Amino acid sequence: MEKVKLLGTWPNPFVQRVVWALKLKGIEYEIIYEDRANKSELLKYNPIYKNAPVLVHNDIPICDSLVILEYIDETWKDASPLLPQDPLLKANERFWAKYGDEQVLSAVYGYYRKQGKDQEEARETTLAHLKCVEQLLNENNFMSGERVGFLDLAFGWLADYSRPLEMVGGVKLLDEDSFPKLCAWRDNFLKIPSINGSWPDQENLIARFQKSKQSLFG
């Protein structure tokens, strides 16, 4: 009997992508949300980074969300493959997912956190990155191709965080005129039942953003 446990915090875009992968694959799991100020299992199972997510499969921890997505895909091969078999296509998805986390996400974070001239610079950087991401869509409905896959889950935060970021931080990311393909992608992504059914509650997300914005800017 498989025992699958996901250790998370909320809100957390890295945890959310793992939730979506588990749902897409139809894997039964238990999720435990830890308080950021009072972690216990996360310290035990991820002593190096002490962050979330951690997937605990039959008592063995796997850390880092993109690593976890690959692990899930290779362990539960039959249902809804996330990554292509072709090594080149696979390498391409890994490259862009890493770019999303290392470049795009941190640029958006800077745009959200900074003020004045610094914010304007961060905005320019963010929009330049989003132009690259827009090009990933080509003529496809999803970043991974015609079916939702690894890259869509990796960029899922862009879909579910865009409204809270705009409402709380005035950070407009997915505007129809500048990023028509990304806007269509967000709608397609949200139409998938497993994604939609575990979409983070937007009102709660907005409330959490408001709370953290107050602690950032008073």
Ligand X SMILES: N[C@@H](CCC(=O)N[C@@H](CS)C(=O)NCC(=O)O)C(=O)O
Q: Does 19 bind ligand X (CB under 6 A)?
A: no
Start-to-end Cα distance in the chain: 50
The residue whose two tokens read 């899930």 is 72
Please pick, from the candidates 14, 142, 161, 209, the single residue that binds ligand X as defined by CB under 6 A.
Answer: 14
Please tell me the distance from the alpha carbon of residue 147 to that of residue 126, in angstroms, as a whole number: 26
Least distance (Å) between residue 54 CB and ligand X: 8
Least distance (Å) between residue 118 CB and ligand X: 21
143 and 96 in contact (C-beta within 8 Å)?
yes
166 and 42 in contact (C-beta within 8 Å)?
no
Chain centre distance of CA 71: 16
Give the tokens for residue 20: 């979506």
Least distance (Å) between residue 196 CB and ligand X: 23
SS (H, E, C) 147-185: CCCHHHHHCHHHHHCHHHHHHHHCCCCCCCCCCHHHHHH
Q: Does 185 bind ligand X (CB under 6 A)?
A: no
Q: Does 9 bind ligand X (CB under 6 A)?
A: yes
The mark string for 80-119 relative to ligand X (x by CB under 6 A, - otherwise) is ----------------------------------------
Least distance (Å) between residue 11 CB and ligand X: 8
- Residue number, 106 or 178, with CB nearest to ligand X: 106
Query: Would you tell me how many other CB atoms lie within 10 Å of the CB of residue 48?
Result: 7
List binders of ligand X among 43-82 (CB under 6 A). Answer: 51-53, 64-66
Least distance (Å) between residue 18 CB and ligand X: 8
Residues in contact with ligand X by CB under 6 A are: 9, 12, 14, 36, 51-53, 64-66
